[in-house]
Amino acid sequence: MERLCRHAGSESPDSLGANEVRAFLEALAVRHNVSPNTQNQALNACAFYFRHILEQPLELGPFAHAKRPKRLPVVLTVEEVSRLLSQTDGVPGLVIALLYGTGMRLMEGLRLQVRDLDFGYRQITVRHGKRARAGG
C-alpha cells in the first residue's frame, strides 16, 4: 500500500480509487517489468485492503498484466551428447550414460543398487523416486 501511495502521490490509500490502483498495477507490469507473481501480490494486497479495511469493493476492469518470460528448453544435440559421453568413463561415465538412456533423475541413478537391475527382463527398478516422495 505504501508503494501504491507513492505511485499515486497520495498520503493515504483511503483517498485512492480503482483508477489509481489500475494505473499502479499497469506501471508495475509495463514500466517496472515485475514478474507476474509480484503484480498478483500487489493486486491481492490492494483487494484485501479495499475489501476488509475500507469495506468497499475494488472493481478494476481490464488492465495490463505482467508477462511470463518465454523459456526455451535447453536440449543437447546428438553431437554434443556423443562428445559428452566420449569424455567420460568409469562409474561417472556409466551413470551419465544410464541417466541419458533411461531418463532417470540424478538421485535415482545414484541410488541404484545391483539388486535393482534385472537383465533377464531388461528392466531397472527405481526405488524412492520423485513420485514416491510427492505424497509425503
What are the domain boundaries of the chain?
2-53, 78-134
Please write the tens of the pLDDT for every residue from 64-109.
888 888 888 888 899 999 999 999 999 899 999 999 999 999 999 9
The domain at 2-53 falls in which architecture? Orthogonal Bundle (1.10)
CB-count exposure of residue 91 (10 Å: 0-12, 13-18, 19+): exposed
pLDDT given at position 136: 45
What DSSP line would sit under 70-120, residue for residue? P-------HHHHHHHHHT--HHHHHHHHHHHHH---HHHHHT--GGGEETT
pLDDT given at position 16: 86
Q: Which residue has the cell 527405481?
A: 126
**Strand pairing class (117-118; 123-124):** antiparallel
